């Protein structure tokens, strides 16, 4: 992370933490919070897999939306994948449908070089991880929730 000679009143991170392991998310969060001026805010987005972002137009969850855009094999397995992760509050979807509970280091990261990598967190998970945060639902027809952390 680059260092600056000044602080910031606002830092916004859109669709970054949806592709980072938890350790990286924690590291970047700490670094970015340290760059805020007193009273400043850091906002970042995350995708709640079980939330239905467009209930009037698309019947599935955010996870199902992602699965429906993957290979035909994954599309066919989508109901089973959704059943598997029901109740999970944090998981990673990689490559052609591999799922790992949590967002920690992968067992064989070289296997996924160049693959799509999506990390999902529920709003409840983010509330527990960042108890002082304000969690906002998706706005403006977006899929991603927003987590807002404020500097003291």
Nearest to 103 by CA among 33, 21, 2, 26: 21
> CB-side exposure of 131: number of CA atoms within 13 Å?
0
Owner of token pair 């999506």:
118
pLDDT mean values, one per 10 residues, the chain (152 residues): 89 94 93 96 98 94 96 94 96 90 82 89 97 96 96 87
Per-residue pLDDT, 108: 80
pTM tops 0.85, yes or no: yes
* Exposed/middle/buried for residue 42 (C-beta within 10 Å: 0-12, 13-18, 19+): buried
pLDDT tens-digit profile of 106-124? Answer: 778 788 888 888 999 999 9
Per-residue pLDDT, 112: 86
């Amino acid at each position: 992370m680059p260092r600056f000679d000044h602080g910031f009143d606002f830092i916004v991170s859109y669709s970054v933490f949806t592709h980072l392991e938890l350790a990286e998310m924690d590291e970047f969060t700490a670094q970015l919070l340290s760059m805020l001026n007193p009273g400043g805010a850091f906002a970042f987005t995350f995708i709640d897999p079980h939330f239905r972002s467009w209930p009037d137009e698309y019947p599935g969850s955010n996870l199902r939306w992602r699965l429906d855009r993957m290979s035909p094999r994954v599309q066919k397995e989508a109901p089973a994948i959704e059943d598997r992760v029901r109740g999970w509050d944090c998981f990673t979807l990689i490559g052609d449908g591999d799922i790992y509970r949590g967002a920690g280091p992968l067992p064989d990261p070289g296997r996924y070089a160049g693959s799509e990598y999506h990390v999902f967190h529920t709003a409840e998970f983010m509330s527990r991880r960042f108890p002082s945060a304000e969690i906002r639902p998706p706005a403006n027809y977006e899929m991603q929730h927003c987590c807002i952390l404020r500097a003291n």
